[in-house]
Structures are given as C-alpha cells and as structure tokens.
Amino acid sequence: MSATVNETLLVGYPDYMVATGFEKPKNPYFFIQEYKKTLGDKHPKNPLLASMLVAMSLNQQSEMHGAYVIGRDWYFVLLQKNNDNTYTYFSSPDFSIAKIHELRKIYTNLQYIKSFFA
C-alpha cells in the first residue's frame, strides 16, 4: 500500500488488513493490524499508523481503525483526520490474551469494528 499524504510518500506493508476484493484488496480498507513477537528496536505502532494514513488517503476517509499486537498484548488504535489536514490518533490500554476477561474485551472490540462497517 502506498500513497502521498501531506506531500510525503508513505508505503505500508501491514501484517493483516480487512478489505473488499478477491485475491487483491480493494477499497475500503477498514481495519489494519501490525504484529511483533517482541518489542525490539522497531515499535509496531509506527508502521501501523503509516498504513492507516495510506488507507485513509486511498479511501478518502477521515477515520481509520487498527490494532497493533506485541506478543500477547493487543492495543486498539483510532486515527482521525482533522479539518486542518493534521491527524490525531488514540490508543487503548493493553489487552492481554493471557487473561480471560481481557480476551473477551478483545473479542468485543473486534465484533464492534465488524458491526460498525458491516
């Protein structure tokens, strides 16, 4: 995925995305995920946000949902485009798949995203 956003070329290679299309993704991209087994020298939030910016530009949308995962911890992200062509993102606290009540919250968040765009 690539697009020019505010005169900057961004290229993203998300680990997972949900989109329409068969074999090749088509618009709209509406959920993007980045995964890292451990937190090394590259934080997964940065490539996630780049991919989300690209998807927003290609879709001509002002909001995008995504998540980054570090090991067993999930973080949900909402990226919004402001009226002055700046962007604001919001990140959830971590949800661990090792705790059943947090695993249920992950499932609930994914169901919400699915129903929001269905």
* Long-range contacts of residues 84-93, Cβ cutoff 8 Å, at least 24 apart: 85/6, 87/53, 89/49, 89/52, 91/45
* pLDDT tens per residue, range 87-107: 999 999 999 988 999 999 888
CA-CA distance, 36 to 34, in Å (whole number)? 7
One-letter amino acid identity for 95?
Answer: F
Give this prediction's pTM.
Answer: 0.81
* pLDDT tens per residue, range 28-87: 666 778 888 888 788 899 889 988 898 888 888 899 888 999 999 999 999 999 999 899
